[in-house]
């Protein structure tokens, strides 16, 4: 379902846009070959401003973890949730990403009146209007905050899995389809954490018999 854009009630949406009744949502790990997808929902104070906070992909690891502590301390409410690789395989990654957002929204201690979502796809959350914003993680502070929480929490989780399966170098690639990750799949096979519905090997790692 394409995201329905609700009117902003006359408010201009900018980086400093913030209302205590608005929750920003974002996910991390959608394009990975292994591990869960994480999502976060964050409600920031209406007067919250920040010079550094932006899309987590544009921040260094050190910046993300420093910001995570600040977000948790200053947010009106925040929550993080996930859907594992089995659920991703069962319902597809797009729906699993939204389901993880819904789970995070359910955990908020303050009920928002509006949900702002990064991207252009969302399944309506019961009785709360939503608005999709392409590249919202770099434009809206509450979405940026959700991006940081989702990313750092997922990275922590993948570091734990890396200790269990060190040959896949998840401490470096976090489950994304790096060359080293794909080479490890070709050599060792897949783990219980790999997404079986994804193309785990690229054509470059296969030698068709007819072409040999």
- Per-residue pLDDT of 92-130, as tens digits, reads 999 999 999 999 999 999 999 999 999 999 999 999 999
Tell me the average pLDDT across 60-85.
97
What per-residue confidence (pLDDT) applies to 20?
Answer: 63
Residue 136: give the domain boundaries.
22-163
In a domain, 8, yes or no: no
In a domain, 185, yes or no: no
Provide the pLDDT confidence category of residue 17 given band limits of 50, 70 and 90: very low
- The CATH code of the domain that includes 145 is 3.30.420.10
Region class of 53: left (phi > 0), else alpha (psi between -120 and 50), else beta? beta
Considering only CA atoms, which of 15, 36, 23 is closest in space to residue 83?
A: 36
Residue 212 has pLDDT above 50, yes or no: no
Considering only CA atoms, which of 55, 119, 109 is closest in space to residue 79?
A: 109
In a domain, 121, yes or no: yes
Tell me the average pLDDT across 190-212.
68
In a domain, 192, yes or no: no
What per-residue confidence (pLDDT) applies to 199?
Answer: 87
β-pairing, 77-83 vs 37-43, is antiparallel
Residue 191 has pLDDT above 80, yes or no: yes
Return the minimum-mean-pLDDT range out of 12-16, 31-35, 82-86, 100-104: 12-16
pLDDT tens across 39-69, in order? 999 999 988 999 999 999 999 999 999 999 9
d(CA 160, CA 167) in angstroms, rounded, equals 13
Residues in the chain: 212
In a domain, 88, yes or no: yes
d(CA 88, CA 52) in angstroms, rounded, equals 33
What per-residue confidence (pLDDT) applies to 8?
Answer: 36
Q: How many domains does the chain have?
A: 1
Provide the pLDDT confidence category of residue 205 given band limits of 50, 70 and 90: very low
Is residue 27 helix, strand or coil?
Answer: strand
Looking at per-residue pLDDT, the higher value among 192 and 17 belongs to 192
Contact 137, 56 (CB under 8 A): yes
In a domain, 112, yes or no: yes
Residue 21 has pLDDT above 80, yes or no: yes
Provide the pLDDT confidence category of residue 200 given band limits of 50, 70 and 90: confident
Which token pair is 7? 């009117």
In a domain, 186, yes or no: no
In a domain, 169, yes or no: no
What per-residue confidence (pLDDT) applies to 202?
Answer: 64
Which backbone phi and psi does 113 adopt, to 5 degrees?
Answer: -100, -15
């Amino acid at each position: 379902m394409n995201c329905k854009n609700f009117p902003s009630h006359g408010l201009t949406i900018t980086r400093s846009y913030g209302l205590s009744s608005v929750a920003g949502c974002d996910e991390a790990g959608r394009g990975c070959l292994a591990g869960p997808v994480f999502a976060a929902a964050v409600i920031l104070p209406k007067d919250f401003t920040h010079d550094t906070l932006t899309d987590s992909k544009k921040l260094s690891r050190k910046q993300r973890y420093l910001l995570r502590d600040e977000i948790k301390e200053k947010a009106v409410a925040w929550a993080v949730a996930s859907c594992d690789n089995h659920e991703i395989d069962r319902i597809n990654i797009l729906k699993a990403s939204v389901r993880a957002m819904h789970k995070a929204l359910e955990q908020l201690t303050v009920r928002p009146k509006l949900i702002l979502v990064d991207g252009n796809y969302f399944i309506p959350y019961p009785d709360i209007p939503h608005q999709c914003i392409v590249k919202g993680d770099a434009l809206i502070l509450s979405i940026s905050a959700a991006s940081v929480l989702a990313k750092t929490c997922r990275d922590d989780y993948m570091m734990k899995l890396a200790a269990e399966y060190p040959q896949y170098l998840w401490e470096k690639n976090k489950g994304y389809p790096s060359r080293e990750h794909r080479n490890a799949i070709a050599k060792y096979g897949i783990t219980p954490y790999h997404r079986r519905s994804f193309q785990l090997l690229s054509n470059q790692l296969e030698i068709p018999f007819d072409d040999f």
